[in-house]
Amino acid sequence: MLNKSKRAALRSMRAVSITILCSLFLAENLNNIDSLLATVSTEPTIQIQPESLFFGTTESYDTLLVVNTGNVDLVIDSVKSSKPFGYGFEVVTKDTTFYWFVFGSRDIEQFERDKLSLAPQDSALLITFSPDLCPVCSSISVEFFTDTLFVFSNDSLNSPVKILASGEGRPSGVLAEPTIQIQPESLFFETVESYDTLLVVNTGNVDLVIDSVKSSKPFGYSFEVVTKDTTFYWFVFGSHDIEQFERDKLSLAPQDSALLITFSPDLCPICSSISVEFFTDTLFVFSNGSLNNPVEILASGEGHPSAVEQANSNIPKAFVLYPNYPNPFNPTTNIRFSLPTEAELSIVIYNSLGQRVKSLAHHTQFPAGEHQIVWDGQNEKTGRVASGTYFLKMFTMQGRKNVPFTQTIQMTLLQ
């Protein structure tokens, strides 16, 4: 039997041992708790509900609720989709509303401008309608689709968040996007006196703006830009930024077009002379269209030496009848032509049967230079002509040798 003093000593030793063990346990686990708390304190946490979007019809919309359940700011870096579909999001927070456009896996500049930043426990509502299944198409049949959206954020533990999207898609045409089309896709200059044309059309549904035109080589191109309202000129010299593009921007409303007319380029604008040679070059047409920018135009043919120092640089070098503009037209169209010398000129319009419709000029004397006349769709007898195809023929006597010059263009009148 232990006496009272020994039993008391034993109890005291047990108490000390338990105290030491508890202290060691608490110390070890407090270190783990501190480490865990340190991790949580520097990490946002993104939650999105629901985890899917469904569009029952092409007119349907759906919503996503984004919540930051962490304790530092959450930032949405971008949203991308697994397929080349177009989504428009309205982003609603407690302070503001802005918009995102998502197109496939492309990096969209607006995410740099309009980032979604949520403080701890804050939320935002994302509202989106049925997506555009082909933003770069003029039309597409409506069909059931499936897609996956990826929401990227600064939540390193849960980024990207995947959102399944499905339902009825809609055809192109409702998204606000200019679309540039240029025909043909090349320029060719058979001789140093040749010219060629480009037709620029905005097939989108918002205004198209041509920011600049540049070339891959230090050649000089002069463009005459003809729209339905005005005519102005561009000079392109290699990759230089030309101030005139700020002054004379080409802006086209949806479905509008412009004609770009250019002659054989100057292969050395800073030289006094250069031997004529065959050249190849690439022109880059920059615009505000995000889907096809820049448009590349191949240029080739015979270049010419510098004409800057020539005394008569403003006098055309050849007899040229340009394509009429607009074409098709209603009710009037412009006919432009160039004369290198004074000439006696006749301009006659014929119908598709070869019958004479109207004479715009008959043995009329014109000085050297650029000229323009207008046909108002009237004939010489009964008034306005019917819709259809017409041919305009210009002929004169060219130069001292009286070599006949004749050129014909085709025009289309739409009533």
Q: What domains are there in the chain, each with its CATH number?
A: 46-168 (2.60.40.10), 176-313 (2.60.40.10), 316-415 (2.60.40.2550)
Give the pLDDT of residue 142. 54
Q: Any idea of the CA torsion for 268, 269, 274, 279, to the nearest 10 degrees?
A: 40
At residue 129, what are phi and psi to the nearest 5 degrees? -95, 175
Predicted confidence at residue 14, as pLDDT, reads: 59
Q: Please report, for residues 213, 261, 279, the alpha-carbon distance to residue 194 in angstroms, rounded to integers and kept in the order given.
A: 20, 11, 14
Q: What pLDDT, on the 0 to 100 scale, is given for residue 22?
A: 54
Q: Give 126 or 403, the one with higher predicted confidence.
A: 126
Beta bridge partners of 54: 166
DSSP state of 131: P
> d(Cα 212, Cα 250) in Å, to the nearest integer?
9
Can you give the pTM of this predicted structure?
Answer: 0.41
Tell me which DSSP letter residue 240 carries: P
Q: What number is the average pLDDT over the span 39-63? A: 84
User: CA gyration radius for the chain?
Assistant: 36
Distance, in Å, from the CA atom of 318 to the CA atom of 315, rounded to the nearest integer, reads 9
Quote the CA–CA distance of 331 and 387 in Å, as a whole number: 10
- Per the CB < 8 A criterion, the answer to whether 168 and 142 are in contact is yes
pLDDT, mean of residues 301-329: 70
Give how far Cα 99 sits from Cα of 37, 119, 173, 399, Å.
36, 20, 18, 64
Eight-class DSSP state of 378? B
Start-to-end C-alpha separation, the chain: 126
Question: Under a CB-based contact definition with an 8 Å cutoff, are residues 76 and 66 in contact?
Answer: yes
**Sign of the C-alpha dihedral computed for residues 236, 239, 240 and 242 taken in this order:** positive
pLDDT of amino acid 275 = 53
